[in-house]
Amino acid sequence: MPKQTWIVDQKDRLDTFLSTKLQVAKNQVLQLIKAGCVRLNGGACSKGGVGVKLGDVLEIWSIQPQESQPLSLPPLDLEIIYEDEDILVINKPPHLVVHHASSVKEATLVDYLQARGYALSTLSGALRYGIVHRLDKDTSGVLVVAKNNASHAHLATQLKSKQMGRYYLAILSEPLNNPVSVACHLGRHPNNRLKMTNLDALRTPIRGGKMSKTHFVPLITGTNQTQLICAKLETGRTHQIRAHLESLNRHIVGDPLYGQKDSYAGRILLHAYLLYVTHPKDGRKLLFKANMLKDMLQYLENHFEGMSWDGLESSIGDLFGSIAG
């Protein structure tokens, strides 16, 4: 099993020391401790709050994937945008859950990656190997996966410090009049636990939630008042784009949870289009594009007369090209 050894160079709590050295969140350190992967001066550790002092020796092993029966997975056409020994960048198709949870019964992206023999980081613990950030089941687009723990730690730090970010494309059922930003505390809807909502805007405000911010830019409006927009995330909360649009009384086509049921029977038309990131090993500034999938392209062709996707794509590139530099 891969092992790292650290000589403690300052007095601190065990979980705080390892969180700083490994550049991961404390909950990830606690997963390692709980799994028996941390030893202090040769002895097992069971609590993150134990104190460490100068000269103590810490040994940390990676969490190892549990042996399981091979899954019988249906075919999946998975587009690989970029791959090296540290990261894997894909264009995630819709109708695919990224990783397992208690409510997930179907095969996940992690299952497919493991079945294809990809080496994945283990810092996120069981069932989330390699996953640094996620996309909702029916959202398509660019996703970066960590292939080792050092890359995972580096990418997680970038995500937290906003050195890594994403731009989304979405098709709205009613247009925005101008560019607009939404900043609010986002939390569970008090009357519908499946939804997130702007807690600050409730008639009776609810304390709590997490701060969230999204920028929205209209791109082109169709003949039936549908509109293609771009969304830039400043934070990465659950259902953030959908909940923020609902607070503006706008909704994504194909999203009955946050919008209205309409004649469109397809999935939610939301796509993670661009991802910018610093390579975890060599420090290169990278920009990845996930081509829009054919269901969204078909909708645009049917509802936006005379639209040239090549011309629109060029406009989007001009609009956000500054991040590549």
For 231: left if phi > 0, alpha if psi spans -120 to 50, otherwise beta; the answer is: beta
- Give the total residue count for the chain: 325
The catalytic residue among 56, 136, 200, 295 is 136
**φ, ψ at 168 (rounded to 5°):** -115, 155
Please state, in angstroms and as integers, the Cα–Cα distance from residue 302 to each residue in 70, 224, 262, 264, 299, following that order. Answer: 42, 10, 16, 12, 5
- Listed in sequence order, the residues at least 6 apart from 27 whose beta carbon sits closer than 8 Å to its beta carbon are none
Please indicate whether residue 56 is annotated as part of the active site.
Answer: no
- Listed in sequence order, the residues at least 6 apart from 160 whose beta carbon sits closer than 8 Å to its beta carbon are none
Closest CA relative to residue 177, chosen from 124, 109, 227, 232: 227
Task: Indicate which residues carry an active-site annotation.
Answer: 136
